[in-house]
Chains A and B, each alone.
Chain A
Amino acid sequence: MAFLLRRCFTFFVTILIVMIMTFLVFRIIPGDPALTILGMDAEPEQIAALEKELGTDRPLYEQFLDWAGGVFTGNLGESLRFSQPVSELVIDRIPVTLSLAIMSIVITMFLAIPIGIYSAKKQGSWVDTALSITTQIGMAIPSFWLGIILMLIFGLTFKWFSPTGYVPWSENPSEALNSLFLPSLAIAIPQIAVVVRYLRTTMIEQLQLDYVRTAKSKGLKEKSILYIHVLKNALIPVITIFGMIFADVLAGSLVIEQVFALPGFGRLLISSISYRDLPLIQGMVVIIAFIVLLMNFIIDILYRWLDPRIELK
């Protein structure tokens, strides 16, 4: 219980710091947000009107409490560009980005875990070396370039997948899957490389431990030793890197949505930057940070729950 309480406490403190940081970056540093939005040559009346609208004429702490209270109740203010509540705009875009993130993680797990095990099993062989080179390259390739190439090959040349655009799941699930597959793969490939390397290392470490010798002396089959005894030990530390992977996948989708013209979170965020739609950007940034922290929180607890050596209570 002590751990849970402490972890909840740090979770909330970190969220608070994230909110303060986001607030300060958007309110203090640029000097006058109204000026920033309207540009240097704005009329004083215009500025005063916008300040009133944004509430920037009030004391800073009041503004923060106002905004923070809004964040917790789901009121993120109104977009300047769309004149629509930020929360509505965000909810519209969530299905695309969330589908992209989930598909990327599913692809990552389905490919990385078997490849990682295989690489560890064949440790030192030429297959292992080839996989090691491939994963190094996989981590170095920019995912948006990978996206462009995948689109060129599978979307435009072979026409197996739709090169751009998005079809909602509610309209046509198979079309939706088709439109999301290439971008998900582009996001997933660098993550696959990370997981393969990590899993391989932990598997090899585990294979040298005493309990493996015990399992062999019991006459267990190679398969049960590898897939039950060793894999269970090796996957527990792998879970910890899934927090980082989730964050990377989310960040990856910000750019990949641009490559494949998917109407998600990222596209809304990037396009809002040139419009200087501060309330919208601020709201989206806080939401993404919140999701990342929440995922890390869940994974921390999951890790402790799965590892019998660590007491959760």
Chain B
Amino acid sequence: MLNTKSIQLKIGATFVSFLFLVMIISLFYLPYEVNYMVVEDRFLPPSLEHPFGTDNFGRDILSRIMQGSQTAFLVGFTAVSIGGIGGTIIGAIAGYVGGWIDEIFMRIMDAMMAFPGILLALMFITVFGSSLTNTTIALGIMSIPGFARIARSGFIQYKQFDFVKAANGMGASHVSIIFTHILPNVLSPIIVAASMSFAGAVLAEAGLSYLGLGVQPPDPSWGRMLNEAQSYITKAPWYTLAPGIFITITVLGFNLLGDGIRELRDPRK
């Protein structure tokens, strides 16, 4: 496996750029209106006019996939922002302050991690109801513990460094030490985690939407498309392909990007 480092990064970046491009194009141009139904065009197999075929309402699957990329990016980006900012602040305080504050914060993070996968999000959705906003917030909260752990270990490591002690001695405030002295040093593992969490959020959103608990109609979502596709699996087996492939390359792209950045930053591994 020679040079997987650069290859991982390149493939990851290519997939992510491709999806980003699809998302940008979908903002300005779609082959068909996403909810335009043509009853006589139901379950058309892939053709030049409809490269991915049509669904049970005769809607163009390609257009819905393209529109769905907006949902994926919106959910991924917002969830990672919530998780990244929240988790980093919690981890920074826990690691920097230490002592019983650290103990309490980390126990709470451990407790959150006891709710596997989408369970935490399911709890949130039960209470607040299912919608795009609630799903996104739930997925953001779900990713907080991961970021908190990474930030915490970075802060524990760096607070013992001489330059931090020096800054402390010179009377720099704790807030300034946290943000200007330590944070830049622990940013790269956080960026790696952000890329991986993006992948995780897209996967979780797809799962929730498949269960009918995530993005609600008429917003198109790859996960919900798979749910519809399953109902008509014998009639239109191609319907299941496009959404599944798009979820996979999104997750793969962000995972590889994260791996690539990590290996770039840490040449030992």
Partners in one complex: yes
B1 near A124 (CB under 8 angstroms)?
A: yes
A contact residues around B111 at 8 Å (CB): 14, 17-18, 21, 289
Q: Which of A17, A123, A281 contacts B123 (CB 8 A)?
A: A281
Query: Considering the complex, which residues of chain A in the window 272-308 have a beta carbon less than 8 Å from any beta carbon of chain B?
Result: 273-274, 276, 278, 281, 285, 288-290, 292-293
What's the least CB distance linking B169 to chain A, in Å? 35
Question: Using Cβ atoms and an 8 Å threshold, which residues of chain B touch A288?
Answer: 115-116, 119
Say whether B233 contacts A270, CB under 8 Å. Answer: no
On whether the beta carbons of B213 and A273 are closer than 8 Å, the reply is: yes
Complex contacts, B123 vs chain A, CB 8 Å: 22, 25-26, 281, 285
Q: Interface stretch among B66-74, B157-165, B251-259?
A: B251-259
Interface readout for B170-182 with A: 1 if CB under 8 Å, 0 if not? 0000000000000
- Residue numbers in A under 8 Å from B117 (CB-CB): 247-248, 250-252, 254
CA distance A248 to B203 in the complex (A): 13
> Would B107 and A13 count as touching, CB distance under 8 A?
yes
Give the residues in chain A near B48, CB-CB below 8 Å. Answer: none
Contact of B126 among A10, A151, A251, A281 (CB under 8 A): A281
Distance A14 CA – B114 CA, assembled complex (angstroms):
9
Return the chain A residue nearest B244 by Cβ.
A145
Chain B nearest Cβ from A80, distance in angstroms: 13
Residue contact B116 to A247, C-beta cutoff 8 Å:
yes
Minimum CB–CB distance from B48 to chain A (whole Å) comes to 25
B125 sits at the interface (CB 8 A): yes
Measured between C-beta atoms, what is the minimum distance from A20 to chain B in Å?
Answer: 8
Interface residues on B, range: 35 or more
Q: Is the CB of B251 within 8 A of A140?
A: yes
List 5 A-B pairs, minimum CB-CB distance, nearest first.
A251-B117, A247-B116, A140-B252, A17-B111, A140-B251
Asked if A36 lies at the interface with its beta carbon under 8 angstroms from chain B, I say: yes
- Can you offer 22 A-B residue contacts whose CB atoms are under 8 A? A14-B114, A17-B108, A18-B114, A22-B123, A26-B123, A123-B1, A124-B2, A132-B1, A136-B256, A137-B248, A142-B244, A145-B244, A148-B244, A251-B118, A255-B211, A270-B122, A274-B212, A276-B126, A278-B126, A285-B122, A285-B123, A292-B116
Residues on the B chain within 8 Å of A141, using CB: 244, 247-248, 251
- Cβ of B124 within 8 Å of any chain A Cβ, yes or no, is yes
Question: Size class of A's contact patch?
Answer: 35 or more
Besides the known contacts A129-B1, A136-B256, A142-B206, 10 further A-B residue pairs in the complex with CB atoms under 8 A apart: A10-B107, A139-B252, A148-B229, A148-B230, A148-B240, A247-B114, A248-B116, A251-B119, A252-B117, A255-B207
Check A106 for interface membership: any CB of B closer than 8 A.
no
Q: Which A residue's beta carbon lies closest to that of B125?
A: A273
- Cross-chain contact A144 with B107 (CB below 8 angstroms): no
Shortest CB distance B167–A (Å): 34
Complex Cα distance, B238 from A152, in Å, reads: 11
A174→B166 CA distance, assembly (Å): 70
Partner of A293, one of B114, B226, B237, B255: B114
